[in-house]
A and B are shown apart, each in its own frame.
Chain A
Amino acid sequence: MNNNDNAVLAGKPNRRQAMRTMGISALGLATFGALSAKAQIAISASETTSPFPVLTLSKTDLSILNFALNLEYLEANYYAYATTGFGLGDQGVDITGTGTQGTVILPQGAVAGTPLVTFNDPAVQQYALEITRDEIEHVKFLRGIILAAGKTPVAQPAIDLVNSFVGAGNAAGVSNFSPFASSNGDLNFLLGSYLFEDVGVTAYHGALTSFSNAKSRGAAVGIMGTEAYHASIIRSQLYDLGSTAQAYALAIANAINTLGGAGIAQGLVNTSDTTLTSNIVPADSNAMVFTRTTQQVLNIVYLSPSGAKGGFFPNGINA
């Protein structure tokens, strides 16, 4: 493995930031070589960050951005632990702020620095790394614009990446589900990711009309776009794995629909139009992605039809 890999991931100013604590061997372009299962932590140099726009944040705008920040803490930790074995705090991201700061519940036997997922398909690993980098950047961006506006971001709340998935799996008819169990290739990791990604899109979409300030709204639109790219990648990878994966995805969608709004989550196969097979885009009959309210999103991440704390946030989100 190439130990000089931070150089590989360093970006130009208009490119995405390096994930500075990663040590991953660069892939050749002609064939996808398998990446090493172990990622090294490197001592990070101080990172050049983009100047954050100075926004005027109303109380509403701040609460929306902080709500989003909670979700990004969840996603970023999930992907970071999956791909690097390190969470946000370990990656040098500031996770302090208002509310109660918490830690991440990991599977038994997790070792710091050992990725929780052993990837089968190098392409999936690449996508997971790319998404990890994006979600970390979203955390930093949301914190950055909140701080630049003279406000305080919420701290990372307690996050559960174990019992939550077991609960979600049970609701979908799968017992003892863990996205980090690599026994059936990348299927479990993709299903775990699938749970979050469309929710993120609908959460941002649903929040847009609540913003007071157009620039704050613009930030949310931009993040929504990226989350949609992510969701599509995960969904199409799952679709391509065939009927078993599609069946699991449908079961998860049905379970989510008992929590976060009937009909919004959709499986990967179009079952109503005989001329279409794939359903990569979960959308309405105008081919527009859906919205969810804050409450619907909380019901999902709490895994509670009544919105009671639990699920991925055992102590609730920070506000």
Chain B
Amino acid sequence: MERDKNFILGVYDDEDVLLHAVSEVRTSGVKIHEVYTPYPVHGLEDVLGYKRSRLPIAAFLFGMLGTTLALTMQLYMMRFDWPMIIGGKDHAAIPDFIPVTFELTVLLAAFGMVGVFMISSNLKPWAQPRIFDLRSTDDKHIMAIDIANNTSMEVAKIQEILKSSGATEVNNKSFE
């Protein structure tokens, strides 16, 4: 069966029920594709077992890039390309370069982090978001389970697990 096409959806009313349901469903061996909630639910990443984001590493690397870029740019301009004496200082007056270096470090770290986040979350301007259930933007929590990822279990069995974990509805959803 093809991945990312056919899903079973559990619809939950209450975030407490959802949090317990997520851990129940996971312990029963079902792999959860994603949970969609109308608002951030505290502790959901923990029960879903998500690892911490590696975004800070990207931010650090982009920051370092900014530092290097700023220092080389200023050194090249002020010392080699067009040497100028400003305020009686040496051509390569490092303290003078620090404010610009700081700004470029922050700028590149911020932009780099946003860029990496957008790429890794598939937030391209032309990306078509997949809506599993419109009510996940209003008052329902939606747990999506990819059937292709749970081939070892029968669909009816998964639906049964969702029901018993407190889902008010269990639906199917397929994407083209």
Asked whether A and B interact, the reply is no
User: Which A residues lie at the B interface, using CB under 8 A?
Assistant: none
